[in-house]
């Protein structure tokens, strides 16, 4: 009798462990202007949205999908107050097209059509971390459009965002490591000011962008245009090998064989 209880207990533990380690599955989705009703009988601005959705009807999937949807909807918002009641990606894209039509009517000599290009892609997934790259480019008039890339890191067990503070346990030492890598990458000597080659670091002190992305072997930081340099300089990418960064990272997230 006791042996049966022990056997059943071991099975329960095994099943529970497998459930806990199950990796969230992500599906690819897309939307273009051709799928919008508002574009059926008039030329729409070019809209290209490629994104992911977490599979499953559970709280974790809903939390992840809401974060992705909020990013896309927010990316399409370029006029204050126009998205107060927008809840779906399709509605947000239709609103983007509607604003374009209104602006085109007011300014018929507009030189170019509006454009929205938004991508959410998975760059790493494990039982302890989902890392997503979130990129947007919008042109809504003027000399040029504006693009932005950020990262979203999620705990796959809860669906909650993992902030920089939860990922990096010793930010001061890690920032020092990152500055050494940045200086080497940009050929800035330690004896030089960080801004000697024309960068715009406030206070003449190196700092990290607000978000970080992870692959199987690398940490990725992206300074977007105007963050630390001019638009003409384009985005500036900083990559740090995971093996070098691990001593400064949270072991609860990174102490697993997938990283």
Q: How many whole angstroms from its chain centre is CA 21?
A: 23
CA 89 to each of CA 11, 59, 75, 76, 109: distance values in angstroms, whole numbers, following the listed order: 43, 20, 10, 9, 29
Contact between 119 and 135 under an 8 Å Cβ cutoff? The reply is yes
Pairing of strands 130-139, 146-154: antiparallel
Maximum Cα–Cα distance for the chain, whole Å? 86
Q: What is the mean pLDDT of residues 180-185?
A: 97
Residue 30 lies in a domain: yes
* 174 and 207 assigned to the same domain: yes
Q: What's the pLDDT tens digit per position in 24-81? A: 899 999 999 999 999 998 889 999 999 999 998 899 999 999 999 999 999 998 766 6
Q: How many domains does the chain have?
A: 2
Contact between 151 and 213 under an 8 Å Cβ cutoff? The reply is yes
* 69 and 138 assigned to the same domain: yes
Residue 208 lies in a domain: yes
Q: What's the pLDDT tens digit per position in 215-252? A: 999 999 999 999 999 999 999 999 999 999 999 998 88
Model confidence at 111, pLDDT cuts 50, 70, 90, reads confident
Q: Which domain holds residue 216?
A: 164-221+230-254
* 27 and 149 assigned to the same domain: yes
Model confidence at 180, pLDDT cuts 50, 70, 90, reads very high
**pTM of the full predicted structure?**
0.86
How far is it, in rounded angstroms, from Cα 235 to Cα 207? 16
């Amino acid at each position: 009798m006791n042996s049966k209880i022990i056997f059943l207990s071991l099975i329960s533990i095994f099943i529970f462990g497998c459930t806990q380690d199950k990796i969230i599955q992500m599906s690819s989705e897309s939307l273009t202007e051709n799928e919008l009703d508002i574009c059926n009988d008039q030329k729409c601005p070019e809209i290209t949205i490629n994104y992911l959705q977490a599979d499953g009807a559970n709280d974790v999937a809903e939390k992840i999908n809401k974060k992705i949807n909020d990013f896309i909807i927010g990316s399409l918002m370029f006029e204050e107050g126009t998205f107060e009641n927008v809840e779906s990606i399709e509605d947000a894209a239709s609103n983007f097209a509607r604003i374009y039509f209104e602006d085109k009517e007011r300014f018929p000599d507009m030189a170019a059509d509006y454009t929205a290009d938004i991508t959410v892609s998975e760059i790493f997934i494990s039982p302890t971390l989902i890392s997503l790259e979130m990129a947007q480019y919008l042109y809504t008039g003027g000399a040029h459009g504006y693009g932005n890339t950020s990262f979203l890191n999620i705990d796959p067990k809860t669906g909650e965002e993992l902030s920089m503070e939860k990922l990096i346990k010793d930010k001061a030492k890690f920032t020092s490591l990152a500055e050494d890598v940045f200086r080497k990458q940009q050929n800035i000597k330690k004896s030089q000011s960080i801004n000697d080659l024309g960068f715009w670091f406030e206070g003449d002190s190196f700092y990290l962008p607000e978000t970080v992305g992870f692959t199987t072997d690398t940490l990725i930081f992206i300074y977007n245009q105007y963050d630390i340099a001019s638009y003409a300089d384009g985005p500036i990418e900083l990559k740090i090998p995971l093996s070098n960064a691990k001593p400064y990272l949270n072991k609860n997230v990174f102490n697993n064989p997938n990283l």
